[in-house]
């Protein structure tokens, strides 16, 4: 494509960014603003119009996919030029490239290999044989995270939150790794920095080689990557390298990986005389969607560089905010929207399943949608995670539950007998199984009770295995006496997970992964709420799950046309025609423990979710949600309160949420009342509102003195939230529970 053509198709700001030269440049690229086009066009422009030697250009991004795309698009713009000489790399592959040139300087073998997670785990096991495989994987992840934070073995590693002596293990690991002459992924950047900082000849080489440096997704840089950019550019040495970074402070959502939004915010101070060019014209979404995104992100005040997305595609419809009674209705609502969109209407072409994406804050939230879609025969794919029932922790818990129902279940027995570790290895398991299997008169295999077989063989086991077997027997003997028809089965499932120590087993190690696994286990507990805590209820529960798994097996042949189920974090860089962001309630999204800068990152995460939508956006918030094995009243997320004006609201808005008229649901072919709660939805009693104000001091016989900290409505019921002086926080329905609370005048 001739130069005049590929510049002519750019808008004014994009063109300014491409032809800019001289001072450092920050291209502040909003979602859907064509940043990849700008950076690839800039490379082509430098080569063809400014006669820059491609050998002097370095472009860095974060994924191999993005690097490949950048390379292909650059070649397409200037096929006659030697664009293949441009070094286009991810940060890690750039580090590897430099280390391959100077391995001895880095203390590496000339033919060094790069250790992956499995290699790291093996090395740690060799260093500390007392650790089991799971603990070794955990230590490996924690060491990798320490390197992402640019921390050495002698540094304070408390930020990692390890339960191990991480300083000692990290030191031994690094010494052993150095002795092998190899490196791990974290070292690729750390050692590259050390080379440039230690050896003047290497520093001179990179400064002479790279006269033009461009970095994509700059808001995602962590400390080692940030230092590498400074070292490559030579900014501290007064080098005349031209540096251009592209990023969006409003899409910085990876602090848990070490990314720091401050690196993009402080770019003008770190790189003197830097110019900022904002790409605000959005080519992805309609104005109604972008209006919601702009309102949301402007609530952040942490040094934002400020920009406003402008839609190139026109107004479009307003996004929809749906208030729904509970999570079951939420999954039905999404299924209804999807199925209705498949029917042509008013001359509009029908949608495809692949037009839709369901977004949620945590992986555990996928279950309700998976179950609903299976029963409604809606094809779906789960991105970035296994399907719910395929996750290791869920398989473990279901194996324990299944063994409660049937002590002859060999598959369940094999999975749980040594998980968590009880010192009962495979040989011992084989011995137990051999004694449990016999042949009947017809020559068929007969299993006896495996629990009884363990009980009978304890004397023949090693001391450690015998103790483990005793604990295993006690666990199931105790569980057998825990059925209670007056309770929900969720109590029983929660006890299994806790008493078996599955929760601690899966929680241990990496904080992020451990938290996710525990959330998944808790979601399994939640699904048991509708069943009675009896053997019959347990069997009904297992039957329902097995039915879902059977339906999943029947629907295995999912082609390209399928609904996407995905966490908000995993949507970065993706886009969909129709998006539903679910679970917009306090404690779900944002998470309950988020405040300050962390809350602002959660808000940016909402912004990222909104800007994934091309044509239609829906946001859901439920009045009740099953959490921790019980139904709990929920409060709307502050994020949707902040942006309510941008949405068409359907369903029954909670008390005090908005004075706006609630719009009808007719545009979707159903009346809003279809999604109202089955319980009373009458207007709040004004006398209750006046009586139970925020700040009212109360006394409760069980909890003592407290103060009303929140008042709101859920499903038409007036709810108060009381913070007691003991630290306990409880919710009450004054309409029904007023006798249990006494209004007092005294302070704490």
The sign of the CA dihedral 231, 235, 241, 245 is positive
Q: Give the angle subtended at the CA of 566 by the CAs of 563 and 571, to the nearest 5°.
A: 110
Look up residue 9 and give its two tokens.
């198709």
Q: Do β-strands 624-627 and 630-633 pair in parallel, antiparallel, or remain unpaired?
A: antiparallel
Whether 387 contacts 565, CB under 8 Å = no
CA atoms within 13 A on the CB side of 26: 22
Alpha helices in 555-657 (DSSP H): 596-610, 638-642
Query: What region does 161 belong to: left with phi over 0, alpha with psi -120 to 50, or beta?
Result: left
Q: Report CA 6 to chain centroid distance, whole Å.
A: 38
Phi (first) and psi of residue 58, to 5 degrees = -125, 130
Q: Which of 220, 279, 238 is nearest to 60 (CA)?
A: 220
User: Residue with structure tokens 């070794």?
Assistant: 136
Q: What angle do CA 176, 180, 183 make, to 5 degrees?
A: 85
CB 479 within 8 Å of CB 404: yes
| SS3 (DSSP) at 747 | coil
Tokens of 57: 């250009």
**Number of Cβ within a 10 Å radius of residue 10:** 17
Strand 356-360 relative to strand 563-567, pairing: parallel
Rounded Cα–Cα distance for residues 250 and 305 (Å): 9
Cα(50)–Cα(28) distance, integer angstroms: 23
Tokens 């997320």 correspond to 637
C-beta of residue 318 within 8 angstroms of C-beta of residue 311 = no
How many of the other CB atoms lie within 10 Å of CB of 359?
Answer: 28
Other Cβ atoms within 10 Å of 568 Cβ, number:
23
Q: Which residues are catalytic?
A: 35-36, 216-217, 251, 612
Q: How is residue 115 written in tokens?
A: 């250790």
Query: CA 291, 294, 295 angle in degrees (round to 5)?
Result: 85
Query: What's the distance, Cα to Cα, between the start and end of the chain in Å?
Result: 75
- Tell me how far apart the alpha carbons of residues 11 and 34 are, in angstroms, rounded to a whole number: 10
Neighbouring-strand partners of residue 445: 439
- Please, are residues 602 and 590 in contact by the beta-carbon 8 Å criterion? yes
Q: Yes or no: say if 609 and 359 are a contact pair by the CB < 8 Å rule.
A: yes
Tokens of 696: 């009212």
Using only C-alpha atoms, what is the Rg of the chain? 30
- The tokens of 23 are what? 């001072």
| C-alpha span between 32 and 573 (Å, rounded) | 9
Tokens standing for residue 403 = 């063994």
Dihedral of alpha carbons 415, 419, 425, 428, sign: negative
Per-residue tokens: 719 = 């709810």
CA dihedral 611, 270, 211, 86 (to 10 degrees): -20
């Amino acid at each position: 494509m001739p130069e005049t053509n590929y510049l002519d198709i750019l808008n004014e700001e994009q063109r300014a960014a491409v032809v800019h030269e001289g001072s450092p440049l920050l291209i502040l690229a909003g979602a859907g603003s064509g940043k990849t086009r700008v950076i690839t066009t800039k490379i082509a422009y430098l080569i063809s119009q400014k006669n820059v030697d491609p050998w002097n250009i370095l472009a860095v991004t974060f994924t191999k996919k993005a690097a490949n795309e950048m390379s292909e698009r650059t070649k397409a713009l200037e096929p006659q030029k030697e664009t293949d000489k441009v070094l286009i790399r991810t940060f890690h592959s750039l580090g590897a490239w430099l280390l391959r040139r100077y391995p001895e300087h880095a203390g590496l073998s000339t033919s060094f290999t790069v250790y992956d997670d499995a290699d790291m785990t093996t090395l740690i096991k060799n260093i500390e044989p007392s650790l089991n495989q799971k603990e070794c994987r955990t230590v490996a992840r924690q060491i990798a995270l320490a390197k992402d934070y640019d921390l050495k073995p002698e540094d304070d590693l408390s930020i990692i939150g390890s339960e191990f002596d991480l300083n000692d293990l990290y030191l031994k690991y690094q010494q052993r790794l150095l002795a092998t002459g190899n490196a791990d992924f974290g070292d690729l950047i750390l050692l590259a920095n050390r080379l440039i900082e230690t050896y003047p000849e290497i520093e001179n080489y990179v400064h002479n080689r790279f006269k033009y440096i461009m970095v994509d997704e700059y808001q995602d840089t962590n400390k080692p990557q940030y230092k590498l950019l400074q070292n490559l550019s030579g900014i501290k040495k007064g080098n005349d390298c031209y540096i251009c970074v592209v990023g969006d402070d409003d899409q910085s959502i990876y602090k848990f990986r070490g990314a720091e939004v401050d690196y993009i915010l402080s770019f003008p101070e770190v790189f003197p005389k830097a110019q900022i060019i904002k790409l605000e014209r959005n080519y992805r979404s309609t104005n109604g969607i972008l209006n919601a995104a702009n309102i949301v992100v402007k609530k952040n005040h942490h040094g934002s560089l400020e920009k406003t997305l402008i839609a190139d595609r026109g107004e479009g419809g307003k996004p929809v905010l749906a208030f729904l009674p509970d999570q079951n209705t939420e999954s039905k609502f999404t299924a209804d929207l999807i199925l209705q969109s498949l029917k042509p209407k008013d001359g509009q072409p029908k949608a495809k399943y692949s037009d839709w994406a369901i977004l949620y804050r945590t992986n555990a939230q996928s279950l309700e949608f998976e179950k609903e879609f299976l029963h409604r025969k809606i094809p779906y794919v789960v991105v970035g995670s296994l399907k719910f029932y395929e996750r290791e922790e869920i398989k473990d818990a279901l194996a324990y539950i299944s063994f409660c129902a049937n002590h002859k279940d060999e598959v369940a027995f094999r999975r749980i007998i040594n998980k968590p570790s009880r010192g009962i290895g495979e040989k011992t398991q084989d011995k137990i199984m051999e004694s449990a299997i016999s042949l009947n008169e017809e020559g068929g295999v007969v299993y006896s009770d495996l629990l009884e077989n363990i009980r009978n063989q304890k004397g023949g086991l090693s001391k450690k295995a015998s103790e483990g077997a005793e604990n295993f027997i006690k666990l199931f003997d105790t569980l057998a006496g825990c059925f209670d028809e007056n309770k929900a089965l969720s109590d029983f499932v929660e006890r299994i997970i806790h008493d078996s120590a599955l929760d601690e087993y899966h929680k241990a190690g990496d904080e992020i992964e451990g938290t996710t696994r525990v959330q998944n286990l808790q979601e399994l507990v939640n699904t048991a709420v509708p069943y009675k805590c009896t053997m019959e209820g347990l069997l009904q529960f297992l039957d329902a799950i097995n039915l879902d798994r059977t339906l999943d097996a029947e629907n295995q042949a999912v082609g390209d046309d399928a609904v996407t189920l995905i966490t908000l974090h995993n949507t970065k860089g993706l886009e969909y025609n129709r998006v539903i962001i679910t679970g917009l309630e306090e404690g779900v999204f944002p998470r309950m423990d988020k405040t300050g800068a962390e809350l602002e990152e959660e808000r940016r995460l909402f912004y990222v979710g909104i800007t994934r939508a091309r044509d239609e956006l829906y946001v859901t918030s439920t009045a009740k949600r099953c959490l921790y094995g019980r139904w709990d009243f929920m409060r709307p997320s502050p994020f949707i309160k902040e942006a309510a004006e941008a949405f068409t609201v359907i369903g029954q808005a909670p008390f005090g949420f908005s004075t706006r008229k609630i719009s009808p649901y007719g545009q979707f072919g159903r009346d809003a009342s279809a999604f109202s709660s089955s319980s009373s939805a009458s207007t709040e009693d004004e006398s209750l509102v006046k009586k139970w104000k925020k700040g009212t001091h109360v006394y409760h016989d069980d909890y003592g003195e407290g103060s009303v900290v929140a008042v709101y409505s859920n499903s038409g019921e007036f709810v108060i939230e009381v913070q007691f002086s003991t630290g306990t926080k409880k919710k009450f329905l004054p309409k029904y529970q007023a006798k249990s609370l006494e209004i007092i005048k005294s302070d704490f």
